[in-house]
Structure 1
Amino acid sequence: MNFHQLHIFHTVAERGSFSSAAQVLHMTQPAVTMQVQALEDYFGTKLLIRSTKKIELSESGKTLFPYAQKSIDIAREADVAMSSFAHKLEGRLQLGASLTIGEYALPRLLGPFGQQYPQINIMMKVMNTTQIIEEICKHQLNFGLIEAPIQHPDMVIDPVMQDELKLIVPTAHPLAEKDEVNLEEVLHYPFVLREQGSGTRQVMEDQLVLQGYNPGDIKAVMELGSTGAVKSAVEAGLGITMLSPSSVKHETALGLVKIIDIRDVEFKRKFYAIHLKSTLLPISAVTFLSFLRQQK
């Protein structure tokens, strides 16, 4: 028995199919079948019940499954623990970052990371959360960084950074005369929103629900597909919005917009790393995520 066999068994059981597991593991189906059979031979019992429709766990398989899960978790924990000692890493990381993270949060961190690990080449795609999930599932990205938690049966989701949304208004707006406003007052004004599927929008709408409001009551004058477009619309006086202060530092310094606190409401959020449960991240990726967790 070895870890590789346990990982393959776990993936087949989780996916319910040898062919699906083979695709996820980048192996041939016969190779996956052979490794599972070797594990069954080792224990002297059938671990999987094979049928024409779906693979299911036998009683012995149900007993082994949590141990296989533990072995995968321990391997990930070991990667995290050892990443701080990995000073000679190399390779290419393919990651997806949602718009706020990719455009504003990460750029200031990539330089210091590159100085510490010059042999790691980061290839980053900036897209919304829905697109990131799709590309991870297609194995086109190693992992993604998103702005709101998701529920996905095939994904591992871990918090890595923190942020907070604030009310952003044009300097000529009536609310710009105040440093703090009530949420009820804010909702009387037209909003410029990010598109559906955006993590920024999800965090905003989730908090509105917690405060007893219906997100559908927001007076949305337009929905735009990037933070830059939203900022431009707000600067032009087309509406107000909720964005991360880090994304409007330049505009605030130039006096184009103002950041305002909403009384007794915090739109705090965490940025999350996501990847497939069936995929063990390379040590370079674990090192990068550990680096992000150490930042403030």
Structure 2
Amino acid sequence: MALNYHQLHIFYNVAKLGSFSAAAQALHMTQPAVTMQMQSLEDHFGCKLLIRSTRGIELTEAGQTLLPFAVRSLELMRETEDAMSRFTHQLEGRLQLGASLTIGEYVLPRLLGPFGHQYPHIQIMLKVMNTSQIVDYILQHQLMFGLVEAPVDHPDIQIEPVMEDELKLVVPAGHKLDVQEGVDLEQVVKYPFVLREKGSGTRQVMEEELHRRGVGAADLNVVMELGSTGAVKSAVEAGFGITMLSPSSIKHELALGLLRMIPIRNASFKRRFFSIHLKSTLLPISAVTFLNFIKQPMAEDQGGA
């Protein structure tokens, strides 16, 4: 029997997760099916690849030799699907993804329409939540992949940048900072802040840049922590404080003159948006196509913001 890529994929998951049951759950297979595929792979090579121990499943010497080749096979398949996705236009299926609030509420809506016209048979199921929630859903196999506003550091999560963005200082019309061409960071931190909740990508990026500039999170006068960008904007409009937001999220308010975007002269809050998924999961070609679709249009749209 010829060597089977599907079996290498299963082998990688068993080796990574340390048990047949965990691999079966990650791959949406039954445990007997995983066991059978591993037996077939061992029959192909004529040697044992896995052994059971008190600590779970362990690799034999042959299994340790095979593992890096299985990893390279997964990486090559991902590169292959990425390269070929632009030639595939008759895609079908359902994509279950999560998006953090700025992306889900203000960036993706402008892109889902054009994507739907080009790929009418792909159904997108979108959940909008904060970054930490998206990671939890992906780890629990409840989402295929996610789009988030800050890097994710987790050993089981694959991360890839898809676009660039920059947070800006946002103040209500008529605020003291509104009359200036630009302000220094030292001036900004003296004012009350309305911020997103801890765990949001926007909050994380802001605090990381402030930390690099010698300003700790405890140094800020945070008068409100709110769970959505819309709530933050409303509080700032009402004069409760100032904030940091993506320009894509305040276009309507800027046009109406309700909010003002003020440059900070000695600090830059640039960030990237990222796609994330389980390393042990190979994204379907429809997901790869979606990610490739949003990369260039998102970057161009943000550049004109």
Classify the TM-score, shorter chain: over 0.9
Aligned residue identity for 2:117 = Q
Offset at residue 11 of structure 1 (A): 0.2
Question: Helix, strand or coil: the match of 1:201?
Answer: helix
Offset at residue 76 of structure 1 (A): 0.8
Offset at residue 52 of structure 1 (A): 2.5
Aligned to 2:219: 217
* Partner residue of 1:149 out of 143, 151, 155: 151
Q: Distance in 1 between matches of 2:293 and 2:266?
A: 33
Offset at residue 118 of structure 1 (A): 1.2
Aligned residue identity for 1:249 = K
Q: Distance in 1 between matches of 2:224 and 2:114?
A: 37
Consecutive unaligned residues of structure 2, counting only runs of 5 or more, are 301-305
Aligned to 1:118: 120
* Residue 253, structure 1, aligned to residue 255, structure 2: yes
Cα shift readout 1:109-136 (whole Å, capped 9, x = no counterpart): 1111111111111111111111111211
Offset at residue 54 of structure 1 (A): 2.1
Aligned to 1:100: 102
Aligned residue identity for 2:293 = F
Question: Helix, strand or coil: the match of 1:212?
Answer: coil
Question: Helix, strand or coil: the match of 1:169?
Answer: strand
Aligned to 1:286: 288
Offset at residue 56 of structure 1 (A): 2.1
Q: Distance in 1 between matches of 2:180 and 2:67?
A: 58
* Partner residue of 1:202 out of 201, 204, 208: 204
Aligned residue identity for 1:216 = A
Give % identity. 68
Consecutive unaligned residues of structure 1, counting only runs of 5 or more, are none
Offset at residue 200 of structure 1 (A): 0.4
Aligned residue identity for 1:213 = V
Offset at residue 18 of structure 1 (A): 1.1
Aligned to 2:242: 240
Question: Helix, strand or coil: the match of 2:263?
Answer: strand
Question: Helix, strand or coil: the match of 1:148?
Answer: coil
Offset at residue 15 of structure 1 (A): 0.5
Q: Distance in 1 between matches of 2:235 and 2:191?
A: 14
Offset at residue 78 of structure 1 (A): 0.9
Q: Distance in 1 between matches of 2:211 and 2:42?
A: 50
> What RMSD, in angstroms, separates the aligned Cα atoms of the two structures?
1.1
* Residue 6, structure 1, aligned to residue 8, structure 2: yes
* Residue 25, structure 1, aligned to residue 37, structure 2: no
Q: Distance in 1 between matches of 2:271 and 2:98?
A: 19
Offset at residue 37 of structure 1 (A): 2.0
